[in-house]
Chain A
Amino acid sequence: MSLLHAVIMAPFLIAAFIPLLRKKNMSRIHPGWFVLWLPVLLFLYFLSHIPAVNEVKSYSAAMLWMPSLDVDFSFYLDGLALLFALLITGMGALVVLYSIYYMDKDKEAVHRFYVFLFLFMGAMLGVVISDNLMVLYGFWELTSISSFLLISFWHMREEARYGALKSMLITVFGGLAMLTGFLMLYVMTGTFSIRGIIVQHGVVFDHPLFVPALVLVLLGAFTKSAQFPFHIWLPDAMEAPTPVSAYLHSATMVKAGIYLVARLTPVFGANGTWFWLLSAVGLFTMIFASFRAIKQHDLKGMLAFSTISQLGLIMSLLGVGSAGGAVAGNSMLYTAATTAAIFHIINHAIFKGSLFMVVGIVDHETGTRDIRRLGGLMSLMPITFTIAVIGAFSMAGIPPFNGFLSKEMFFTGMLNVWSLDIWNVQTFRILFPIIAWIGSVFTFGYSMVLVFKTFTGKFKPDQLEKKPHEAPLGMLISPVILVALAVTIGLYPNFLSHTLIAPAVAAVHPGLLAAGEHFEVHISMWHGWTPEVFMTLGVIVAGVLLYVGYGKFRSIRETWERSFTLNRVYDLGLSGMERSSRRLTDRYMNGSVRRYLMYIFVFLIASLGGTMIATQSFSLNMENYSSVTLYEMVIVAVLAISALSVPFASARIPAIIMTGAVGYMVTLLFVIFRAPDLALTQMIVETVSVTLFLLCFYHLPKLKKEKNSQRFQLTRLMISLGVGVMMTLIALSAGGVKPFASIADYFLDNSYELGGGNNVVNVILVDFRGFDTMLEITVLGIAALSIFSMIRLSLASDHLGVKL
């Protein structure tokens, strides 16, 4: 137990205490103020670790949990974990502050909101700081669950429940795949510790499970980080309150997959599959989602697709960056892409957080997020407009904001692929910068649509539910801080490069550094007339043209969109699975007892017969058989005939009499086979049974002739014949084998000496094996009692109105 453990546990403890705030009479103060200090404090705590992490590269703490299973709470803080921890706590503080003004404490269940939010914050911190893969997985699923709870926060709304279920199904599917991947890693290395696995990455690299583990882990990362085709949950998750969207679905949770990829790059990186999966899926997601983003009418939907696209961008950069481990010599050329990815993680969290908050303000002050009803808000909401402009320009990659820098670095990373000469990259190398460029054009387009369709143009007051005005000051604090950061990072990016980015890059590529060496990260606004600058200029020109042609473009897009969407695939797949499993169950569980008995008997015949055939165990050994006399033959013949005639009896009484005859023949057989006690008992029991049968069914109507279909009758005959033949064959085979002597001699020898009786069967029943008899008496007692109560008690008859 160390301070780091206390830090992870703190949000959970706070979450446990939040409901207590409600009990006290604090209704005048928003409960958000009582919890705001925690993320601030945690942020400061993590800030204080920056120098330490820079010096020694990591800071760790361990606590045993399940040592026998190799699972313990071991945490460690290196550059990458610290970067994410700062994002989580920093954004967390700003979001809590924003939510104080956004969530109405009288109309909303704010206590519940903060419980879920802090649960999420703790889980997310756990994901990024855990060293143990199992603990990481535990926290990972906790983020899925708390995200589910937060998306369905307004659970009265059907869309919220739909979105929550969808995100849950998709992320948990990925999470389980990832768990399998982690278990494979354990099989390969014998440890769950990430650091331990990184040390053994050579072992992992040559193992046959390498590619399956890689694919499964990436499946987890892609579902969590909303990569194509698993991105469909994110737009529906926009039903959550806006602070949640800003926090979970732009800055933190969707970056958990990014974190996982970056964290495991030392294990899986420098491999062709990894490179191609990451860069191809990432680039395709980027261009696809930026294309879809322009289509959206809902501002949050637009931001959701924008988030997907930016996450794709980061994924592809991490993919390209992983090539740095595979090439000898100029690896720095490719790790530049990793640097860009890390830098863009920070930038994206900043500008996307501010944009979500802007959309929340617009929604809050006008009552709508629909872009077709908005317009001309610039003069009414000047501060919000300024924030939106800075956020959107940063997203579009326009100088002097931070997004410009990471966009330039993105182009650099993609252009560097040109010189990569492994994994057949040359064939497709032209595609990398082109897709990146087209994606950026669309990004520029929707960024402009987001700002200018909302804030400029014609003001439509008649379409708005409220009279719009500037947001309260408290609501503006968080986005102002974020855009101030966007500008600051844009102008002075290098205060981040040595403190945060270089250690994070070092954590992604630990093998590329000699001891005591640091990654040199230098980001500057201007480095001459490089191709990246021309690409950016091209983006701006093409983006402006795209924005101008926005209206004309829309109709083409919509016809294309209507034809095929992945959401329809998901919906149809889900309902199809439900329908087909329902149909399957209805088919074999039709409520008919006969049908179920048939399944049982067919299975019996198949398994017994199959085993007999497979092991060739049928044998007929007749040498020890006893002789047959005519008398016995007659008895068995009568038995067989009366048994066979039972099914043919059309009336009740003959059927009962025939069964009774079988019973008496069995009694005679007991006599012949020297079993006097059995014969006595059988005779009495048979007599009583037949009497009971006759008593019971005296009042019932005559047996109806059963009308069974021809086909059923045939199956029934086949099944009963099969069971009979099976039993005969088994009896014959088993009778021929007698591997051990019977225990009977012991009973025969000791019955008198130990039991004091000459009747060996009776001595066995009450002395040697008296327990059986006791329980058999109990069975009889229970049967008698239940028959009695069944006849006497008839509670249900009062409800049914049936008189017995």
Chain B
Amino acid sequence: MELIMSLAVGILFMVGVYLILSKNLLRIILGTSLLTHGVHLLLLTMARLKNGAAPLLGENASSYVDPVPQALILTSIVISFGVTSFFLVLAYKVYQKLGTDDMEELRGEEDE
């Protein structure tokens, strides 16, 4: 399973980077969100998949999955949500103010 998950992570990174390198602001934000998914899955995969019960002690199982990466991912999800929503509103304002969402047209002045 880890092999397949690693491949999935690779695909997510690839598409994310491809989108980040685009001109369009929306695509860039979608790219960062795909990258975030890739990172979360990578964190989970690195801790070994599926050799125990969910980390709820009431289960009384003989072994549980690693709870530490889950805590890390949970923190990360919330943070990336905050950043993404900020970024989204920023992009929205940029479009409203400047009338474009093309990164190449958003270049600064010469000789800044």
Spell out A's residues near B (CB within 8 Å).
591-594, 597-598, 601, 622, 624-628, 632-633, 636, 639-640, 643-644, 646-647, 652, 655-656, 659, 662-663, 666, 669-670, 672-678, 681-682, 685, 688-689, 692-693, 696-697, 700, 703-704, 706, 708, 716-717, 719-721, 723-725, 727-728, 731-732, 734-735, 738, 742-744, 747-748, 751-752, 758-761, 764-765, 769, 772-773, 776, 779-780, 782-784, 786-787, 790-791, 797, 800, 802, 804
User: A672, A692, A786: which contacts B50 (Cβ < 8 A)?
Assistant: A672
Contact with A along B1-44 (1 / 0, CB 8 A): 11111111111111111111111101101100110011011101
B8 CB to nearest A CB, Å? 5
**Pick from B29, B34, B42, B84: contact of A643, CB under 8 Å:** B34
How many B residues touch A, CB cutoff 8 Å?
A: 86
Q: Contact between A708 and B26 (Cβ–Cβ < 8 Å)?
A: no
Q: List 17 A-B contacts (CB under 8 A).
A: A593-B103, A598-B21, A601-B17, A626-B1, A626-B2, A659-B30, A663-B37, A674-B53, A676-B56, A681-B74, A700-B92, A703-B26, A720-B17, A734-B46, A742-B68, A748-B55, A782-B82
Establish whether residues B57 and A666, one from each chain, have CB atoms under 8 Å apart when the complex forms.
no
A646 contact set on B, CB distance < 8 A: 15, 19, 30, 34
Within 8 Å CB of B83, what residues of A?
Answer: 779, 783
Tell me whether A591 and B74 are in contact in the complex, defined as CB-CB below 8 angstroms, given that A659-B34, A728-B10 are known contacts.
Answer: no
Query: A776 and B34: CB pair below 8 A?
Result: no
Given contacts A594-B21, A640-B8, contact A743 B26 (CB under 8 A): no
* Inter-subunit contact B70/A783 (CB<8 Å): no
**Chain B interface, DSSP helix/strand/loop, else mixed:** helix
Within 8 A of A (CB), among B70-112: 70-71, 73-75, 77-79, 81-86, 88-93, 95-97, 101, 103-104, 106-108, 110, 112
Inside 8 A of A591's CB, which chain B residues have their CB? 107-108, 110, 112
**Which residues on the A side are within 8 Å of B23 (C-beta)?**
594, 706, 708
A752 to B58, CA, bound (A): 10
Contact of A700 among B79, B101, B112 (CB under 8 A): B101
* Inter-chain contact A659/B33, CB cutoff 8 Å: yes
Report whether A731 and B9 are in contact in the complex, using a CB–CB cutoff of 8 Å: yes
Extra A-B contacts (4), CB below 8 Å, given A647-B18, A674-B53, A723-B17: A592-B103, A626-B2, A678-B74, A797-B97
The docked-state distance in angstroms from the alpha carbon of A662 to that of B38 is: 10
B11 to A: closest C-beta gap in Å? 5
Contacts of B101 in A (CB 8 A): 700
Report which B residues bind A (CB closer than 8 A): 1-24, 26-27, 29-30, 33-34, 37-38, 40-42, 44-58, 64-68, 70-71, 73-75, 77-79, 81-86, 88-93, 95-97, 101, 103-104, 106-108, 110, 112
- Per the bound structure, the CA–CA distance linking A627 and B49 in Å amounts to 9
Q: State whether B65 touches A662 (Cβ < 8 A).
A: no
Task: Give A666 Cβ to nearest chain B Cβ, in Å.
Answer: 5
Known contacts: A626-B50, A802-B97. The answer to whether A748 contacts B64 by CB under 8 A is yes
- Evaluate contact between A692 and B9: CB separation under 8 angstroms: no
Which residues of chain B are within 8 angstroms of A776 by Cβ–Cβ distance?
75, 78-79
Residues of chain B with a CB closer than 8 A to A624's CB: 48
Q: In the complex, what residue of chain B is closest to A748 when comparing beta carbons?
A: B64
